[in-house]
A = this chain, B = another copy of it.
């Protein structure tokens, strides 16, 4: 993961709690429909209720959790409509972001991308979905963060935060086969400094997810 910009509010308890929860969401360690409790998380993370509450308030603002009526805070259940909404938002932002970023990816970053891609391959061979999702996140954001556009990156991060729990369900249901080719194509496009090709690779990556809901409707989350 290794947050690249390193939150300015470092050393704060709330920040580390938020980072931990964020990691869980992006790597799909929380299931859609699950309910979280401030007290439970506080106990688990050995902090008081307060930092957890503020972290959850942030996550609620980012759409990762919902304050369901009263007395219940849940990670939103998976819906075909919401899944498609998210994917179409990703389509609107990420291909363009990647295409614009390609000019700013230097040799060092490309090397790191290759290393992460290798780790992705390992995770896929081991069938470790959590590791795959963590590395996949790292791969994409190594590309996007080459751009100095904090607002755009923040928007995309919001999407991934909401997307993580869904992806885990999807991977658990359909497996992780043939997921690596898009990364190969992306790496080639970056090597060639080919923005349009990278755009197509990222778009294809997103469309892969889209195709999954074409054949299956989602009804529940847990």
Interface residues of A (CB under 8 A from B): 8-9, 14, 53-54, 57-63, 66-70, 81-82, 85-86, 88-89, 92-93, 96, 148-152, 154-155, 158-159, 162
**This chain: copies in complex:** 2
* Chain A, interface SS category: helix
Contact among B92, B154, B155 with A96 in the assembled complex (CB-CB below 8 Å) = B92
10 extra interface residue pairs, beta carbon distance < 8 Å, beyond A14-B57, A82-B151, A89-B155? A8-B66, A54-B54, A57-B58, A58-B61, A59-B61, A81-B148, A85-B150, A85-B151, A151-B159, A155-B155
Write out the residue numbers on chain B whose beta carbons fall within 8 Å of the beta carbon of A63. 151, 154
Closest to A147 in B: B85
> In the complex, how many angstroms separate the beta carbon of A132 from the nearest chain B beta carbon?
24
**Residues in B whose Cβ lies below 8 Å from that of A92:** 92-93, 96, 152
- Chain B residues with Cβ under 8 A from A69's Cβ? 8-9
Complexed CA–CA distance, A150 and B88 (Å): 12
Q: How far is the CA of A161 from the CA of B63 in the complex (A)?
A: 16
A57 CA / B81 CA spacing, docked (Å): 28
Chain B CB within 10 Å, residue with most, of A93, A158, A159: A158
Q: Could you say which of B81, B82, B149 contacts A88, with CB atoms under 8 Å apart?
A: B149
* Selected contact of A54 from candidates B9, B53, B81, B155, CB within 8 Å: B53
- In the complex, the 10 A-B pairs of residues with the closest C-beta atoms, listed nearest first: A61-B61, A58-B61, A57-B57, A9-B67, A85-B151, A54-B57, A85-B149, A61-B62, A57-B58, A89-B152
Nearest-Cβ distance from residue A42 to partner chain B, whole angstroms: 15
Residue in A53, A89, A152 with the greatest tally of chain B CB atoms within 10 Å: A89
Expressed in whole angstroms, the Cα–Cα distance for A69 and B7 within the complex equals 9
What residue of chain B has the Cβ atom nearest to residue A163's Cβ? B151
- Which of A59, A85, A88 has the largest count of B CB atoms less than 10 A from its CB? A85
CB-CB < 8 A to A62: which residues of B?
Answer: 61
B58 contacts A151, C-beta separation under 8 Å? no
Residues of chain B within 8 A of A152, CB atoms compared: 85, 88-89, 92
